Homo-oligomer: A and B are copies of this chain.
Amino acid sequence: MNISQTVERFKAYTDRFNAIHQALNLFSWDMAVGAPKGGTESRAKYVGILSAEEFSMRVSDEMKGFLDALEPYGESLDEITKAMLRICRRYYYAYKKIPVEEMREYSELLPRAEAVWEKAREENDFASFAPILDRIIRYQKKFVEYRGYEGHPYNTLLDDYEPGMTVEKLDVFFNRMKEVIVPLLKRIAASDGRQDKTGFVNRLVPVDKQRAVAGLLMKTVGFDLNRGMLKESAHPFTNDFGKNDVRITTHYHENAFLSSFYSVLHECGHAIYEQNKMDTIADTILDTGISMGVHESQSRFYENIIGRSEAFWEYIYNGLMEILGDDFKDVSARQFYEAANVAKPSLIRIEADELTYCLHIMVRYEIEKQLFSGDFDVNELPGVWNAKMREYLGVEPAADSAGILQDIHWSDGSFGYFPSYAIGNAYAAQILHVMRRDIPVENCVRNGDFKRIQEWLTEKIHRFGSLKTPSELMEELCGETLNAEYYAEYLTEKFSAVYNRSGVLILPRPHIRQNYFC
């Protein structure tokens, strides 16, 4: 067989497990948007089998054969084949050591766990979730042992979501963020109590109006509804089946319409990334975002950097008022902007403001790090959670449903995922810094020219899908990988601006080492 035949067969092979992967995606989507509860066990069986099929194909002797056969051709291969090989090789050597049977058991556990978690959260009953959570963590710990690790065991999981990320790098990152955020938050807390003037955000907005707002936002930022859709689920998320079918969800709270407002912008960021990959990689294993960190940089860019800017509120104000009608006619664009940027310690991560968000991630990061560094008692976790919330945010949940039970992530085994949110925020600030050199970002937003921003992101990031590694992408775009300083500067500037009008806060610019720039 000649090399091009081998490449063709290799690609066809990746297509086969990718189809199974997409089927699993669809089961996951289906369960989140309302599959019958009574079918949970049955679907767990199917999902378990299909996960094992995908897994077996990715760690099969046939895969090893392709890797070995194509290895010698290295640099002479086209970039698509090279990237596919990189991804397959990485997966093969990471997971080869996990027995298929254990992976199957584990995969069968997850959909059940999700149902248990949902019920536990509803009923504020951590004890009912604890046993299955314990099993998930023990499987993951066993898998890390099988897979091996360098430095901290948790590094193996971090690397799954952000290749190259380590506890060592994140400890530095979070320490720096804490240094900046905690004093900033204290100064804000001591300011004029603007949050008291933002009670209008809790006015009733019926779900049908919120749906119209979601429609306005999707249209504004350019989420293509011919190749996507919006549905409702308990926890907002994005699910992509390749660039031509990208689905997002939101959750409407009648007395907190900004919750869905920002969820939609957040998921649109993920979705626009997925929808704008180059056609040559459509429906292949490269037709998906490069890493969770880069993914979150895009969602945070749309949610926070665009969506929480004063320019955005100036632009969106009229369209929004047409939908909200008289109920909000006493509220100005500036007031919406300020309300969207109230910084205040709170309990729920997905409702947290941009400033305190990072601290919520720290709580989870530190717990996960600890879970994977030695033995643990799952029953102690709520106590640990609450103590850390008190320490970093100064607030403590009265109920676990507003504490350790709030996130879906652990029920689906996504340990190592949470830090991506903070990494994404930091990347977003780094990307903004570079984008500003090319285009007048604030003006584009103020004038509703989101197409220009999207085209820049497509050119620099979106089109590549998984062709590049995150470090290649960030290095080429920004001249460096993760650097806390841009995010620190962004937060300081932003919250100084928000809180400055009242004259209370005047913050110094943080020190940025100019040699980090590209």
Q: Give residues in A with beta carbon < 8 Å to B.
A: 15-16, 18-20, 22-24, 26-27, 29-30, 34-39, 41-43, 45-46, 49-50, 53, 224-229, 241-247, 282-283
The answer on a CB contact under 8 Å between A245 and B282 is: no
The answer on a CB contact under 8 Å between B245 and A38 is: yes
Q: B residues within 8 A CB of A283?
A: 42, 45-46
Pick the residue among B24, B36, B45, B246 that contacts A226 (CB under 8 A).
Answer: B36
Q: B residues within 8 A CB of A18?
A: 46
The answer on a CB contact under 8 Å between B41 and A244 is: yes
Q: What's the nearest-Cβ distance from chain B to residue A368, in Å?
A: 31
Provide a sorted-by-A list of 27 A–B residue pairs whose CB atoms are within 8 angstroms: A15-B49, A16-B53, A18-B46, A19-B45, A19-B46, A19-B49, A19-B50, A19-B53, A23-B24, A23-B26, A23-B46, A30-B30, A35-B245, A36-B225, A36-B229, A36-B244, A37-B226, A38-B226, A38-B227, A38-B244, A39-B227, A41-B244, A42-B242, A42-B244, A42-B283, A43-B241, A46-B241
Bound complex: CA of A234 vs CA of B38, how far in Å? 26
Bound complex: CA of A45 vs CA of B471, how far in Å? 32
Bound complex: CA of A227 vs CA of B38, how far in Å? 4
- With A42-B245, A42-B283, A43-B241 in contact, is A50–B23 under 8 Å at CB? yes
Bound complex: CA of A19 vs CA of B111, how far in Å? 15
Q: B residues within 8 A CB of A245?
A: 35-36, 38-39, 42-43
Bound complex: CA of A228 vs CA of B34, how far in Å? 10
Residue ID in chain B nearest A35 by CB atoms: B245
The answer on a CB contact under 8 Å between A22 and B46 is: yes
The answer on a CB contact under 8 Å between B224 and A39 is: no
Bound complex: CA of A252 vs CA of B133, how far in Å? 43
Residue ID in chain B nearest A17 by CB atoms: B49
Q: B residues within 8 A CB of A225?
A: 36
The answer on a CB contact under 8 Å between A224 and B23 is: no
Q: Is the interface of A mostly helix, strand, loop or mixed?
A: helix
The answer on a CB contact under 8 Å between A16 and B227 is: no
Q: B residues within 8 A CB of A37?
A: 226
Bound complex: CA of A47 vs CA of B517, how far in Å? 47
Q: B residues within 8 A CB of A226?
A: 36-38
Bound complex: CA of A226 vs CA of B37, how far in Å? 6
Copies of this protein chain in the complex? 2
Bound complex: CA of A244 vs CA of B42, how far in Å? 7
Bound complex: CA of A243 vs CA of B245, how far in Å? 29
Q: B residues within 8 A CB of A22?
A: 46
Q: B residues within 8 A CB of A15?
A: 45, 49
Pick the residue among B24, B27, B49, B227 that contacts A36 (CB under 8 A).
Answer: B227
Residue ID in chain B nearest A226 by CB atoms: B38
Residue ID in chain B nearest A34 by CB atoms: B229
Q: What's the nearest-Cβ distance from chain B to residue A480, in Å?
A: 36
Bound complex: CA of A246 vs CA of B39, how far in Å? 8
Bound complex: CA of A35 vs CA of B246, how far in Å? 10
Q: What's the nearest-Cβ distance from chain B to residue A47, in Å?
A: 8
The answer on a CB contact under 8 Å between B36 and A228 is: yes
Residue ID in chain B nearest A41 by CB atoms: B244
Q: B residues within 8 A CB of A227?
A: 36, 38-39
Bound complex: CA of A46 vs CA of B50, how far in Å? 14
Pick the residue among B26, B36, B41 that contacts A26 (CB under 8 A).
Answer: B26
- With A39-B242, A247-B36 in contact, is A26–B30 under 8 Å at CB? yes
Which 6 pairs between the two chains have the least Cβ-Cβ distance?
Answer: A39-B245, A38-B227, A23-B23, A19-B49, A38-B226, A19-B46
Bound complex: CA of A247 vs CA of B30, how far in Å? 12
Bound complex: CA of A224 vs CA of B226, how far in Å? 34
Q: What's the nearest-Cβ distance from chain B to residue A334, in Å?
A: 37
Pick the residue among B34, B36, B38, B50 that contacts A20 (CB under 8 A).
Answer: B50
Output the residue of A38, A229, A242, A246 with the most chain B CB within 10 A.
Answer: A38
Q: B residues within 8 A CB of A53?
A: 16, 19-20
Bound complex: CA of A264 vs CA of B447, how far in Å? 50
Q: A20-B53, A39-B227, A43-B241 are in contact. List 18 more A-B contacts (CB 8 A).
A: A19-B46, A19-B50, A20-B20, A23-B23, A23-B26, A26-B26, A29-B30, A30-B30, A35-B229, A36-B228, A36-B229, A36-B246, A38-B227, A38-B244, A41-B244, A42-B244, A43-B245, A46-B241
Bound complex: CA of A241 vs CA of B24, how far in Å? 15
Q: B residues within 8 A CB of A282?
A: 42
Residue ID in chain B nearest A16 by CB atoms: B49
Q: B residues within 8 A CB of A27?
A: 23, 26
Q: What's the nearest-Cβ distance from chain B to residue A125, in Å?
A: 20
Residue ID in chain B nearest A39 by CB atoms: B245
